């Protein structure tokens, strides 16, 4: 797992069993390891700002953990200040099964399965890092033409590499791919309302995408295509044209390479 922040990038291959909580990613050289409140809420969590200003977590074994507020406003649990927890930590550290690395996980599978799992993880990132269930759904519904991986490859990748950190980021900000934004801070000069659009087909892991960019305003877009037929390309173009029209732009010319030389308005309509 790679963790990016304003201090740089940290990489860890360790997964630890946190007593009374469960499995967590772990970095032994960092000052803090973060627990997501949405995950912690599988146990009872109480907070009272007038009585101690603390989060109290009821653990699965009946014990409690108290998260106090720091000077910086973050709530933390100091493991080193808890003798009982420190003893448990030492016990788990000495246990050879306490740390589960990616390399150890790979030993549970054949080289062929590891290779396919690696491909499954690369493909997951290439198509925008969908969640595990959505990724499986995409593959099972055959929404990726000529998909090289199976449901089992995806599950194997999850078992070996664990959750992809980028998915957490994507779930927080990702929108539907059909949505576009053209930011502007004032009236658009009339000269820029007539748009010349350049188009091309690019591939990511054998998946075709229609890439467009407009001259002058330099607005770009990308859409996955089911195939490279002119009908598919035309339908994708129509969506983009509607976006421009919605914001008051008119596409006057579309530029492409020799791949589009057989395009005929009589067959596919005027754009």
Check residue 73 and give left, alpha or beta (phi > 0: left; psi -120 to 50: alpha).
left
Count: domains in the chain: 3
Are residues 46 and 130 both part of a single domain? no
Q: What is the largest CA-CA distance in the chain?
A: 80
With respect to residue 119, please indicate whether it lies within any of the assigned structural domains. Answer: yes
Residue 14 confidence (pLDDT):
79
Asked if residue 64 has pLDDT above 70, the reply is yes
- Smallest CA-to-CA distance from 138 within 233, 226, 232, 208 is with 226
With respect to residue 32, please indicate whether it lies within any of the assigned structural domains. Answer: yes
Residue 33 confidence (pLDDT):
73
Residue 16 confidence (pLDDT):
73
Of 40, 72, 94, the position where a domain reaches its end is 94
Are residues 12 and 76 both part of a single domain? yes
Higher pLDDT, 1 or 139: 139
With respect to residue 185, please indicate whether it lies within any of the assigned structural domains. Answer: no
pLDDT digits (tens, 9 = 90+) for 202-215: 888 788 899 999 88
Of 63, 94, 125, the position where a domain reaches its end is 94
Asked if residue 87 has pLDDT above 50, the reply is no
The region of weakest confidence among 88-92, 134-138, 239-243 is 88-92
Residue 95 confidence (pLDDT):
37
- Is there a contact between 247 and 182 (Cβ–Cβ < 8 Å)? yes
- Measure the CA angle with vertex 270, ends 269 and 271; round to 5°: 115
- Is there a contact between 211 and 256 (Cβ–Cβ < 8 Å)? no
- Is there a contact between 7 and 168 (Cβ–Cβ < 8 Å)? no
Asked if residue 234 has pLDDT above 60, the reply is yes
Distance CA 263, CA 234 (A): 10
Q: What is the mean pLDDT of the chain?
A: 75
Tell me the CA end-to-end span of the chain in Å, nearest whole number: 46
With respect to residue 242, please indicate whether it lies within any of the assigned structural domains. Answer: yes
Residue 89 confidence (pLDDT):
39
- Smallest CA-to-CA distance from 229 within 242, 214, 210 is with 210
Residue 38, domain extent: 2-94
Higher pLDDT, 211 or 191: 211
Phi, psi of 239 (to 5 degrees): -65, -40
With respect to residue 179, please indicate whether it lies within any of the assigned structural domains. Answer: no
Where residue 196 sits, what CATH number does that domain have?
A: 3.30.420.10
Q: How confident is the model at residue 39 (pLDDT cuts 50, 70, 90)?
A: confident
Higher pLDDT, 100 or 116: 116
């Amino acid at each position: 797992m790679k963790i990016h922040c304003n201090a740089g990038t940290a990489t860890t291959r360790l997964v630890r069993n946190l007593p009374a909580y469960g499995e967590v990613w772990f970095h032994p050289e960092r000052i803090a390891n973060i627990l997501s409140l949405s995950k912690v809420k599988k146990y009872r969590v109480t907070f009272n700002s007038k009585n101690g200003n603390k989060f109290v977590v009821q653990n699965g074994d009946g014990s409690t953990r108290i998260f106090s507020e720091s000077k910086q406003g973050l709530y933390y649990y100091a493991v080193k200040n808890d003798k009982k927890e420190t003893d448990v930590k030492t016990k788990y550290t000495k246990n050879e099964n306490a740390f589960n690395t990616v390399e150890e996980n790979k030993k549970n599978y054949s080289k062929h399965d590891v290779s396919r799992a690696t491909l499954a993880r690369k493909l997951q990132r290439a198509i925008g890092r969908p969640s595990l269930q959505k990724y499986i759904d995409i593959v099972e519904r055959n929404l990726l033409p000529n998909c090289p991986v199976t449901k089992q490859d995806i599950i194997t990748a999850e078992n070996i590499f664990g959750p992809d950190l980028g998915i957490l980021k994507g779930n927080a900000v990702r929108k539907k791919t059909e949505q576009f934004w053209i930011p502007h801070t004032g009236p658009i000069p009339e000269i820029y309302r007539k748009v010349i659009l350049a188009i091309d087909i690019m591939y990511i892991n054998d998946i075709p995408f229609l890439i467009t960019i407009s001259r002058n305003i330099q607005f770009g877009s990308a859409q996955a295509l089911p195939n490279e037929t002119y009908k598919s390309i035309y339908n994708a173009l129509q969506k983009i044209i509607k976006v421009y029209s919605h914001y008051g732009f008119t596409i006057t010319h579309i530029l492409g390479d020799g791949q589009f030389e057989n395009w005929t308005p009589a067959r596919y309509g005027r754009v």
